[in-house]
Structure 1
């Protein structure tokens, strides 16, 4: 199965996104080069417990990484423009491409 998954490019995923946790929303920008995060990173940090500064595409989702390039959360691709993940303290967060 893994061989059928395609790794998206950073250019394909770059743009304006919204991170949802229940009824709260953080606006995030995935920047193409150098895979940096911009927008309301402090909002996302409150939920994730660590400040996401970079990101990496994976064949099945997106990793949000901290300053030490350690993964904070892996968001699994649900459908085009929507990724879901969870942590020990958060049952679900959803990353959606902004309209």
Structure 2
């Protein structure tokens, strides 16, 4: 006769605990992957092109190359503003955009797609093949003194 060293109550408790952990993990994951509504992201943004990301072994350059383009993410998911400037960096002028669970994507005139990852609220980033970094961040309203 083979006996199970664990009592049935302990097995049931372990099973219940494992089930609850899976369920709460799925709920937490689903909350973190909610898509932002286009109306939440619509507005003025600035795209900043900066030099290659510095590794721990490479000191940052004294005057890193940097450029800024002002773009507008419109509620109908089209882009306005200096899209030609942004297109020079990306290789295709973006004309549409859409949200994704982990960021947003820009779609170019030639149907190319560039995915910018969400790094923090209202701050998206992509590293280009050249090593240069494009950061898209919400432009704060300018106050006139």
1:37 lines up with 2:79 in the alignment: yes
Between the aligned partners of 2:107 and 2:127, the Cα distance in structure 1 is: 14
CA RMSD of aligned residues (A): 1.5
- Secondary structure of the 1:45 match is helix
Higher relative contact order (CA 8 A, sep 6+): 1
Say if 2:92 and 2:109, in contact at 8 Å, map to a contact too.
Answer: no
Moved over 3 A (4+): none
Match of 1:17 among 18, 30, 45: 45
TM-score scaled by length of structure 1: 0.89
Query: Is the contact made by 1:54 and 1:69 (CA closer than 8 Å) also made in structure 2?
Result: no
> Cα distance, 1:88 vs. partner?
1.3
The residue that corresponds to 1:95 in the other structure is 136
Q: Which has the larger radius of gyration?
A: 2
| TM-score scaled by length of structure 2 | 0.62
How far has the Cα of 1:87 moved from its partner? 2.2
The number of equivalent residue pairs is 97
Structure (1/2) with the larger strand percentage: 1
CA contact (8 A) 2:94 2:108 kept: yes
- Counterparts of 2:131 and 2:78, CA distance in 1: 23
What runs of 5+ residues in structure 1 fail to find an aligned partner? none
Question: In structure 2, what is the Cα distance between the partners aligned to 1:9 and 1:17?
Answer: 16
